[in-house]
Structure 1
């Protein structure tokens, strides 16, 4: 694709603003308190938009429209539980993290279970985020290759160094403020796409609403053999019913707002508990409409290509072309100069807002939970700040190396690696935190018993899902529910172990 000079100017302007923010905040990063939590002075609306930017990725920009185009709004259903999860986290969990001067989500694990469990949580987070970073960078490089014609290696290295540099320089201040800008750019880019679709349709917005409603495209039904079937609402572990999807969504959002460092770090950066709660409210009020908007965008594209058929759209609907190619193809073929640049900037924003948060969070967790706690305690704050810079730089290099490995791997291999890593490292973390939040029974022994059983369970489901085990050992449930069941196992086993073993003295638990 050859972009116009106007589009190139829009893209360049966006990149200059983002990098300039990193340089601006680099001047004030003279302590770990500033670098990790921005001096704990952020207002609620800034925290809220930053939370939106962190949670938004290429999934929002690419996968949501693709899914709504090919099927219905079923993917949106789990998001409806976000307000419940945020309300629970805001009133029950947030005060725990706001006590004292908490910086990471895993400090709580040491307070409750001991240092070994804290290290486990920190290491699991770091590894999972490295996998996520490499994946997002690789996906971003695919778009850059299409835009600029750069080679895969050049696109990966340049984009990785760009994001890594402004994040290393600016710390959490740059991350939060660039997330705010990237959230706004993302929404503007999507609105530009919808404006073009409405302009292309003879009946405009009304035609989208009437045609899609008549076809059932706004429903939560499943697409089976080209027909939309009504959703089931019963409880079942063998099928994706509406009720079970809501439970999965609640589990995922509770995990996000109780144990994910990317989120907890925002809590700690807020000026007060009240401001943090305002930020969580802003996040809910902004996220649900933005996600719905991108689902609507996919539905609008379906209506457009019913009226004006195009071969790529037909191939996506019949399965001969990947649905995720829909929006990039529409951008390059239908948008006018200037608008194309804005939407491409939005696509970059979707990826960059996730990458910068993960890089800064990895540096924070590495220094606070591991390096300062166990490797080099008692050093000066300046030393830990330099260590954070170094870790952020190493994280950037690992991200680039991982993306280069993914570039050489097949798509199936990529999907398998991501599935295995996420399943093994993320399984049961919510159950561990709930055990710590609601019960004073048990110590590190109970926690590790729950962790071990959960790892065995998730390892079994991964093996069963890849046909490694004989049929007799196949999972008797839909593997989509692995995370939900894993959290129940973590909590259940941990609680029973706590009842059996009780809790050791404070000194003995602190050594565990």
Structure 2
């Protein structure tokens, strides 16, 4: 089955509709408080869904079902850590943000350690987002290119051309409503786009169940027989080096997921900005903790679809189905099995997931650039209208930079002739720098004696130390076997080293 004209009309109509609706919903902004914080008047439930949509990319839609298809349900263990981490952030970090009436997460570091620490943290955030979101935006093009090609479109195009087209379309449409509508447009379009992509996934699952030869019970029976319903894996009995290299054993997932969530939702402007748009601290806490529960349910939904696919395709491997990897299996079902019009809606939902992530990055990067790096040094005398104009310029600049980063990753990966584990690559990049950020926040929040010098020493020692714990060029320079840790532990190790190095610096200084 190929895409029909109806499918393409649906996709085009959706993209144009998103841009128009995003601008209409947001209304007019008169200052940066409206543009970046929505006037502190966005309902908590809308922020909840926006946080979830921000964390969700097209890879969640495509790759998480593939995780269950090729493995089991142990991936869900990490979501328990996500919930624990959010509870910690809601009690330790959010009160400090609201008490200080802050506009970015890094203003707390300025008040505690001074301008240099704020600048270091803000710059690290920007570099992290540049790399991680470049990977994420490139990853968006993978399932879109697969689906469009399986559907018979762009058959004369090269892989690079199809990928660059997908990236460019997503970037331009997202920039339009983010540039004009600000955070209100971002949040409300996140809500709508989450409804679209979750609804699309549920519809695909219903169609699948209806077409299963032995129904839902048969699918679950097959999953049980092949041990795909396993939820918990403690990983005991392995050597220590092997144990800490496995990302989805229970304690690694729980501790790593919790610490990662503390860093991503407590120190990353991408998420913190959303939480600061609520009306008060209580609303912010409800949005944050509730998002952890919804993320767990969402992962459960996509893993369940993977189990249904396993039964639908009679446990065949990707190679037996004529596919390169299991990541292409859900895409194959979408193109070949869904009725006319619904395939187009599913592809539109993939664009929805991609645009919700990208719009959040653009707005948070622009806000951090404006408030952390521009205004304290160059814009102290600006009027609200001038600040708003500068903010929109930064939004546009970051859109160009992120698109270029995605083009760069697409070129490198396609030239290499192989596809990376892009989900883990993106999360690994974020996890790597989160360790330094979280350690600096905890050093300032939990201890009163460390000063700016101690915080900076701890911050950079933490970042440098991780280079020797992650598989890469530096490990090859070390004698013997390097200690490679799983990506959920990057943040754990990094933040711990920052705390220790900062306290040691303070102890040496006070001697």
* TM-score of the superposed pair, with normalisation by structure 1: 0.89
For 2:77, the equivalent position in structure 1 comes to: 77
8 Å contact kept, 2:83–2:292 = yes
- What SS is found at the alignment partner of 1:269? coil
How is 1:311-350 mapped onto 2 (pairs within 5 angstroms)? Answer: 312=318, 314=320, 321-350=324-353
Structure-1 residue corresponding to 2:37: 37
Partner of 1:506: none
The structure 1 residue matched to 2:182, chosen from 168, 171, 179, is 171
Quick one: structure 1 residues 414 and 433, their matched pair in 2 at CA, closer, same or farther if it must change by over 3 Å?
Answer: farther
Aligned partner of 2:236 among 211, 221, 232: 232
Shift of 1:482: 3.2
User: Partners of 1:262 and 1:51 in 2: how far apart?
Assistant: 9
Aligned partner of 1:226 in structure 2 is none
Deviation readout 1:408-463 (Å, 9 max, x if unpaired)? 2135698598688546533322122111111112111111111221122122234x
Q: What is the CA distance between 1:397 and its match in structure 2? A: 1.0
- Aligned: 1:452 with 2:460: yes
Match status 1:211 vs 2:222: yes
Partner of 1:107: 107
Work out whether residues 439 and 459 of structure 2, in 8 Å CA contact, stay in contact via their aligned partners in 1: no
Alignment partner of 1:465 out of 429, 448, 472: 472
Q: 1:243 and 2:251 equivalent?
A: yes
CA separation of 1:136 and 1:478: change in aligned 2, threshold 3 A: closer
2: CA distance between counterparts of 1:33 and 1:497?
38
TM-score (norm 2): 0.89
1:61-99: CA deviation from partner (whole Å, max 9, x where unpaired):
122111111011122211112221122211222111111
**Residue 94 and residue 112 in structure 1: after superposition, are their counterparts in 2 closer, same or farther (change >3 A)?**
same
Cα distance, 1:297 vs structure 2: 0.8
**What is the rounded CA distance, in whole Å, between the counterparts of 1:366 and 1:238 in structure 2?**
41
Please report the RMSD computed on the Cα atoms of aligned residues, expressed in angstroms: 2.6
Contact 1:48 1:279 in 2 (8 A): yes
Residue deviations 1:213-244, cap 9 Å, x none?
Answer: 2221011467xxxxxxx843999453123212
Aligned 8 A contact 2:178 2:359 in 1: yes
Unaligned runs of 5+ in 2: none
2:363 is the counterpart of 1:360: yes
Residues 260-292 of structure 1 deviation map (CA, whole Å, 9 limit, x = unaligned): 112111121001112112212331332211111
SS of alignment partner, residue 61 of structure 1: helix
Report how far residue 191 of structure 1 moved.
0.6
2:57 is matched with which residue? Answer: 57
> Higher mean Cα deviation, 482-491 or 405-414?
405-414
Summarize deviations over 1:116-155 as a string: whole Å, max 9, x none. 1101111111111122332232233344444252733333
Alpha-carbon deviation of 1:380?
Answer: 1.5
Change (3 A) 1:421 1:77: closer
Q: Distance in 2 between matches of 1:99 and 1:494?
A: 25
Give CA deviations for 1:363-422 in whole Å, capped at 9, x if unaligned: 000000110012332221211111110111111111222222223213569859868854
Decide whether aligned partners of structure 1 residues 213 and 64 sit closer, same or farther in structure 2, where only a CA change above 3 A counts. same
State the shift of 1:252 in Å. Answer: 0.9
Please give the alpha-carbon distance, in whole angstroms, between the structure 2 residues aligned to 1:92 and 1:467: 36
Secondary structure of 1:306's counterpart equals coil
Secondary structure at the residue paired with 1:410? helix
Which of 450, 454, 476 does residue 483 from structure 2 map onto?
Answer: 476
Matches within 5 A, 1:82-101: 82-101=82-101
Contact 2:465 2:494 in 1 (8 A): yes
Q: Which residue of 2 aligns with 1:259?
A: 267
2:400 aligned partner: 397
Aligned partners of 1:164, 1:60: CA distance in 2, in Å? Answer: 22
Structure 1 unaligned regions, length at least 5 = 223-229, 504-512
Q: Cα–Cα, structure 1 residues 270 and 156, in superposed 2: closer, same or farther, change >3 Å? A: same
